[in-house]
């Protein structure tokens, strides 16, 4: 709070910062780079098909998987903490019990948002994400939101 003199009247100016959560659509529209925790080499699994579909829509996908070397034509990292690039969104295809640690790693790398896929919910991950100032989505599919809202990214130069 700062005090100031306004025309002979002593006034206090208060800076209030309101947190208004973004919608899932707004989060995807502002996202370019997505780190996918639980990325799969099996195209029949959501962790394989969803990132591939997002990549086709122009998103830069960074796969996180401890057992693969390359997925979706991209280098795979063992954990979020190994990723040397800026990450806008961390998209999670792991059990809810894994999500608090993933949220901590997402906060540590400065990700802007944490997104838990369909049927994944975690109050603890939500708390960690929100305390770190990240946007948060749970129990929604990034591919469905991108498709319904016709979200595409321009082709990389």
The tally of domains found in the chain comes to 1
pLDDT at residue 1 greater than cutoff 90: no
Asked whether the whole model's pTM tops 0.95, one would answer no
pLDDT bin (cut points 50, 70, 90) of residue 157 is very low
Model pLDDT for residues 92-139, shown as the tens digit of each residue: 999 999 999 999 999 999 999 999 999 999 999 999 999 999 999 999
Look at residue 15 in the predicted model and tell me its pLDDT.
Answer: 46
pLDDT-derived band at 19 (thresholds 50, 70, 90) equals low
Is 87 within the bounds of a domain?
A: yes
Tell me if 156 is assigned to some domain: no
pLDDT, tens only, 36-80: 999 999 999 999 999 999 999 999 999 999 999 999 999 999 999
Asked if residue 10 belongs to a domain, the reply is: no
Per-position DSSP letters for the chain, written without gaps between them: -EEEEETTEEEEE-------PPPHHHHHHT--EEEEET--S-TTSHHHHHHHHHHHTTPEEEEE-TT-SEETTEE-BSSGGG--S--SEEEE-S-GGGHHHHHHHHHHTT-SEEEE-TT---HHHHHHHHHTT-EEE-S--HHHHHHHTT---PPP-
Residue 11 lies inside a defined structural domain of this protein: no
Say how many residues make up the chain.
Answer: 157
> What domain range includes position 27?
18-148
In a domain, 6, yes or no: no
Closest to 116 measured CA to CA, from 19, 24, 33: 24
Query: Residue 90: is it exposed, middle or buried by C-beta count within 10 angstroms (0-12/13-18/19+)?
Result: buried
Phi/psi-derived region of residue 8, left when phi > 0, alpha when psi is between -120 and 50, beta in every other case: left
**Residue 8 is encoded by which pair of tokens?**
């002979």
Query: Does 57 fall in a domain?
Result: yes
| CATH code, 60 | 3.40.50.720
Residue 83 lies in a domain: yes
Q: Residue 45: inside a domain, yes or no?
A: yes
Both tokens assigned to 146: 């991108």
Q: How much is the pLDDT for 8? A: 52
């Amino acid at each position: 709070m700062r005090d100031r003199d306004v025309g002979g009247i002593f006034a206090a100016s208060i800076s209030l910062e309101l947190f208004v959560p973004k919608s899932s659509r707004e989060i995807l529209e502002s996202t370019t780079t997505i780190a996918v925790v639980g990325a799969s080499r099996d195209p029949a699994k959501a962790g394989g098909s969803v990132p591939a579909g997002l990549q086709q829509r122009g998103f830069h996908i960074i796969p996180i998987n401890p057992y693969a070397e390359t997925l979706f034509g991209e280098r795979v990292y063992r954990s979020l903490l190994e990723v040397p690039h800026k990450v806008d969104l961390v998209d999670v295809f792991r059990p809810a019990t894994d999500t608090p640690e993933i949220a901590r790693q997402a906060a540590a790398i400065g990700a802007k948002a944490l997104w838990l896929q369909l049927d994944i919910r975690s109050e603890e991950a939500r708390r960690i994400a929100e305390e770190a100032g990240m946007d948060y989505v749970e129990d929604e599919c990034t591919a469905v939101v991108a498709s319904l809202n016709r979200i595409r990214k321009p082709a990389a130069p």
